[in-house]
């Protein structure tokens, strides 16, 4: 069975990758993003995903997933990105979520807090990042964190399969 390394132990990310990469042995490993705990731009979020993927063993495909925020004008958006590195070292990129955060959350993040901490405080619960995430709060539970990472995993898998089939 082909190995698929995921640069995270987060349950929502792992569930998303397992759902999409059926037929692969999905192996989650702790991986550092090499960026701030709260990425503050698309570029920083992409770099975090890429760093996670690059740090994984090269005897399988490697996936890094990262969530962050990006300021566009007056709005602070929740964003997420993924990077897949195949056996030949080709990099595939996928971005997804772009939902504006309410001002009370935006202010706390721009003051230096991490989104996960703000959400735990707002919801009075622990480990929100492994459950519904901020997106669950923002969409009244219609979309959960697993869903947004499943979207990214599908985009990565589709690009990988297209490249594999074009040989």
- pLDDT on residue 59: 97
Tell me the per-residue pLDDT of 2-24, one tens digit each, with 9 for 90 and over: 999 999 999 999 999 999 999 99
- pLDDT on residue 146: 94
Domain boundaries, the chain: 2-165
- The string of DSSP codes covering the chain is -EEEEES---HHHHHHHHHHSTTEEEEE-----SS-SS--SHHHHHHHHHHHHHTS-TTSEEEEEEEEEEEETTEEEEEEEEEEE-TT--EEEEEEEEEEPPHHHHHHHHTT--HHHHHHHHHT-S-GGGTTHHHHHHTTTSS-HHHHHHHHHHHHHHHHHHHHHT-
Q: For the whole model, what pTM was predicted?
A: 0.93
Q: CATH code for 2-165?
A: 3.90.950.10
Q: At what angle do helices 145-165 and 11-20 cross, to 10 degrees?
A: 40
Q: How many CB atoms lie within 10 A of CB 124?
A: 6
- pLDDT on residue 166: 61
Quote the distance between the C-alpha of residue 28 and its chain's center. 13
- pLDDT on residue 156: 98
**CA 26 – CA 67 distance, rounded (Å):** 20
In which residue ranges of the chain is pLDDT below 70? Answer: 166-167
Residues 6+ away with beta carbon under 8 Å from 164: 86
- pLDDT on residue 160: 97
- pLDDT on residue 80: 97
């Amino acid at each position: 069975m082909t190995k698929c390394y995921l640069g995270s132990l987060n349950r929502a990310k792992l569930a998303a990758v397992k759902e999409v990469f059926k037929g692969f042995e999905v192996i989650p490993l702790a991986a550092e993003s090499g960026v701030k705990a709260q990425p503050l731009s698309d570029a920083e979020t992409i770099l975090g995903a890429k760093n996670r993927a690059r740090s994984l063993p090269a005897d399988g495909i490697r996936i890094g997933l990262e969530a962050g925020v990006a300021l566009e004008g007056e709005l602070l958006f929740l964003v997420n990105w993924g990077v897949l590195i195949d056996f030949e070292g080709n990099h595939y990129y996928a971005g997804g979520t772009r939902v504006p955060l309410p001002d009370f959350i935006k202010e706390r993040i721009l003051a230096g807090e991490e989104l996960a901490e703000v959400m735990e405080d707002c919801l009075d619960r622990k480990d929100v990042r492994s459950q519904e995430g901020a997106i669950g709060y923002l969409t009244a539970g219609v979309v959960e964190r697993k869903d947004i990472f499943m979207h990214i995993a599908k985009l990565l898998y589709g690009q990988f399969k297209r490249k594999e089939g074009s040989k």
